[in-house]
Amino acid sequence: MPDGTPSESMNTNNTPPNPWWDKPIYDQRSLKIICVGAGASGLLFAYKLQRSFENFELTLYEKNEDIGGTWLENKYPGCACDIAAHAYCWSFEPNPNWSSTYAGSDEIHEYFTRFTDKYGLRKYCQFKKQISRAEWDNEKGQWNVEITDVNTGNVTQDWCHFLINGSGVLNSWKWPDIPGIDKFEGNILHTAKYDRDLDLTDKNVALIGTGSSAIQVLPSILPKVKKVTTFNRSSTWVFPVQGFQQRHYTPEEKQEFVADPKKLEEHRRELDSSLNGAYAIFFKDSPVQDSMTSTMRGAMAKRLKGSGLEDKVIPKWGVGCRRMTPGVGYLEALTHEKTEVVTSGVKEITEKGLVSDEGKEYTADVIICATGFNTNYIPRFPIIGSNGQSLAEAWKDEPANYLGVAAAGYPNYFVFVGPNSPVGNGPVLIAIEAQADYMLKLINRFQTENIQSFSPKLEAVKDFMEHKDAYMKRTVWELECRSWYKSNSISGKVTALWTGSTLHYLEMMAEPRYEDWNFTYIGGNRFSYMGNGYSLTESDKTADWSYYLRNVDDSPLLGRAKHWRTVNRSGTIERDGMFVVLLRPIIYWLVLKLPCLESHSSSDGLAHCGKMVLG
C-alpha cells in the first residue's frame, strides 16, 4: 500500500474471509426503510434521512391521494390549528406568509406541500397504498410488510430493516356509539370526513361534541344556518385567546417578515417562549394553576354574558385537564339567539333528529358529529413482534412504551407521536423533530456498526411507565375529566402526555440511553464493524488526514450543564421570578391586551395596542 490507502483485500492468509475485514470502520451498509403515512411526521423523517444519510431506500406508503395526513383529511368548517401558526412550523422552515394567527387546514396543508416539493420528497411517496400487516422475521432481521392498494384491493409484499409508524394519533376517526345512528333521514357527517359541498343555508343543524373540532365548527356555521342545537355533555376550558387574538396579518406585516427574517425569528421566539413558559399551569394545586383557573373562570363568564350557561359550560376541574382550545367566537356563539345548548348526552338518534338523555327530542336536517378519534394508540393494522404477539394485544390494557417512540419486543420499530409524547405540553412539531433525530441516531448505529436489530429492554419500559404514573399524580391531567389524554376516560391513566415540558423532552431525547436497548449483531461479534483497521477518512483520498489539528480548542462542551447553557444562550435574557414569568404571557392577554383589542376592531388592532414583550 505505497499510497497509504486500504488495499482491496486484507485476507493474506488461509483464514476464511470475513466481508467486514475488507471495509473501513463505520462503513455504510444499505438501508431499507418503510414509513407508514406521508403526513407531517413521515415527511420530516424523509427530509432528515435524505439530509444526513447515504445508501438508503425509503418508501412512504400513504393511504390518501396526497401528502398532508390530518391537514388533508380534515376539511370541516373552521378547521384550523389550535396554536398560533408561526408556532406550528418546523424549527428550520419558517413561513413568513401565514395569513392569520390561527391558520386554517387548507393553508397548513399548503405549508407541508411546499415543504415536500422544496426538498423533493414526493419521490419517496406511494399514494393510495395502505399497510395492512407487518411481521418481524427474527431469522432475517427484517419486517415483512403487506400493502393493500386502496383503489383495487390488490395486496403486494415488501420488506424493510426499519418500520416507522407515522400515522399519527388523531387519524382514526370514529362515529359516536349512539343507537339509531343509521336511522337518520337527513345528512349525517363526521368532522374528519366532512362534505364541503353540503349547503347548510337555513338548515336546522345538530352538533355533537365539545372538543376542538366542535369549538371551531359552531361559530363557523352559525351565520348560515337557521338554528344549531349543540349537545355539550362535557364542559371544557375555552381560551378567549391563547397567545394572540385571531386576526389577519396585513400585507405590510408579511412583507416585513420576508424582508427581515430576524423580525420573523423574534416573533416566532415570542410565541414559542410563551408556549414553553406556560407549563407550570399543569401542576395541580399550584399557585400558577389556581391563579390560572380563577382568571379563566372570570374570562369565560364575561364572554358568556350572563346567559345562565356559566354553571353548565365552565368546568369545575382545573385548567388543562382537557386540551385547552382557543375557541375564537365559540363562547359568543353559545349565547347567540340561533343556538340552543343541550347539556346532556344523546340517548338515541331517530329518523328526524336526536333524543337527549333527558328524553327530549330535537329535530334536525343535518347532524355533525365532532366526536373525535380513536386515541387508544392501538395500531390500525396488525404489527407482529419478535415473540409473535401483536402490538394491539400487547397494548390492549395500556400502551407500555419507551419514551413515546418504541415498544419492547418490537425490534427496529419506531412510532412518531406515540403514547406519552408531548402532544399537549408545548410546540408539538418541535417534539416531532426531536423524535426524528432520536430515531436516526439509532438507525445510524445500525447502518455503520453491523447491527441486526435493537429494541428497548422490558425493564426500561417498566421503569419509564412506573415513573410516568408517579409523575402524573402531580398534574391536572389526572383530575376527573373526560379527556383523550386518558383514552377518552374520566379517571384512567394518562396515556397521551409526556412527563414534563417540551423543553424537558428535547433535552431528554438529545442523547439516547443505549444501555436501555437490546442489540443483536450480524455474525454475533459486536466489534466486527471495526473492519480492516482503516478509518473512513483514510478511504477518501480527498479528505484532510490531519483534520484534528486546530489553533484553539473549539471542541464541543461535554458536560451537560455547560453544553445546554451554550445551546440555550444562557445569560442573554432577563426574567423575573418563575411564577411571574410563567403567568405573564397569559395574564397579559386576558387582562390587558384583550380589552384593548375589543375597543379596536380594525385589522390593525395590535398596532393600537402595542406588541407583546416577554421577559
pLDDT tens-digit readout, 56-74 = 999 999 999 999 999 999 9
> Which residues share a beta bridge with 205?
228, 366
Alpha helix ranges (H) inside 319-427: 330-334, 391-394
Residue 574 has a pLDDT of 76
**Sign of the alpha-carbon dihedral angle for 297, 303, 308, 314:** negative
Backbone angles phi and psi of 463, in degrees to 5 = -65, -40
Contacts 24+ apart (CB under 8 A), 352-360: 352/185, 352/186, 353/184, 353/206, 354/206, 354/208, 354/229, 354/231, 356/231
Mean pLDDT, residues 199-227 taken together: 95
Distances from the Cα of 434 to the Cαs of 169, 207, 339, 452, 465, in angstroms?
A: 17, 37, 43, 24, 20
Residue 51 has a pLDDT of 98
Mean pLDDT, residues 433-438 taken together: 99
Mean pLDDT, residues 366-375 taken together: 88
**For 465, how many CA atoms within 13 A lie in the half-sphere containing its CB?**
19
Q: Where in the sequence of the chain do the CATH 3.50.50.60 domains occur?
A: 27-67+121-171+375-521, 187-369
Separation between Cα atoms, residue 590 and residue 239, nearest integer Å:
9
**Predicted confidence (pLDDT) at residue 52 exceeds the cutoff of 80:** yes
Q: pLDDT band for position 20 (50/70/90)?
A: low
**Predicted confidence (pLDDT) at residue 579 exceeds the cutoff of 80:** no
Separation between Cα atoms, residue 283 and residue 263, nearest integer Å:
34
**What is the reported pTM?**
0.91
Distances from the Cα of 426 to the Cαs of 238, 271, 278, 323, 422, in angstroms?
A: 17, 10, 8, 11, 7
Q: Which residues of 71-86 are buried (b: 16+ CB within 10 A; e: fewer)?
A: bbbbbbbbbbbbbbbb
Alpha helix ranges (H) inside 335-383: none
Residue 4 has a pLDDT of 46
Identity of residue 136 = W
**DSSP string spanning 111-157?**
HHHHHHHHTT-GGGEEETEEEEEEEEETTTTEEEEEEEETTT--EEE
Separation between Cα atoms, residue 395 and residue 41, nearest integer Å:
22
Residue 544 has a pLDDT of 96
For 448, counting Cβ atoms within 10 Å of its Cβ (0-12 exposed, 13-18 middle, 19+ buried), the class is middle
Separation between Cα atoms, residue 264 and residue 254, nearest integer Å:
9
Separation between Cα atoms, residue 229 and residue 222, nearest integer Å:
11
- Per residue in 448-483, pLDDT (tens digit) is 999 999 999 999 999 999 999 999 999 999 999 988
27-67+121-171+375-521 has CATH 3.40.50.300 classification: no
H-helix or E-strand containing 342?
A: strand 339-342
Query: Do the beta carbons of residue 322 and residue 483 sit within 8 Å?
Result: yes
Tell me the CATH architecture of domain 187-369: 3-Layer(bba) Sandwich (3.50)
Give the three-state DSSP class for 207: strand
Q: Angle formed by the axes of helices 578-587 and 261-277, to 10°?
A: 110
Separation between Cα atoms, residue 208 and residue 369, nearest integer Å:
5
- Per residue in 504-524, pLDDT (tens digit) is 999 999 999 999 999 999 988
**Predicted confidence (pLDDT) at residue 599 exceeds the cutoff of 90:** no
Query: Do the beta carbons of residue 406 and residue 517 sit within 8 Å?
Result: no
Backbone dihedral region of 518: left (phi > 0), alpha (psi from -120 to 50 degrees) or beta?
Answer: beta
